[in-house]
Amino acid sequence: MEFKRRYSDHYAEISAPNMDIGLHPASAETVCVTNISIGLAYPNFDSAVEELRNNSVEVEVNAEGWGRIASFSDPDGNSLLIAEVKGQSQP
């Protein structure tokens, strides 16, 4: 794994083969089993959201100034995110 970038104490990103992993603390409003959430970058954001929904996963998509976030939970209630950074999506 390789360290990619860090934004203050709020976010860090590391790279592994064929994936980037974003790490940041959950917000105070996040209801989850633990106090973290896991963020994943996927090359085709819309495809990932569609696949989750096709598998009966409740997904909330929000647009941010820098891109989009799809929020959902794993079966244990842990908060998970898929992020699409503007200019980094693929067809």
Task: Give the number of domains in the chain.
Answer: 1
Domain span including residue 77: 2-85
Domain CATH for 42: 3.10.180
Q: Does 91 map to a domain?
A: no
Q: Does 21 map to a domain?
A: yes
Q: How does pLDDT run across 67-91, given as a tens digit for each residue?
A: 899 999 888 787 888 988 877 655 5
- Taking CB atoms within 8 Å and a gap of at least 24, the contacts of 21-24 are 22/81, 22/83
Q: Does 90 map to a domain?
A: no
Sign of CA dihedral 82, 87, 88, 89: positive
Q: Does 30 map to a domain?
A: yes
pLDDT of residue 31: 59
pTM: 0.61
Q: Does 31 map to a domain?
A: yes
When mean pLDDT is compared over 24-28, 47-51, 80-84, the highest value belongs to 47-51
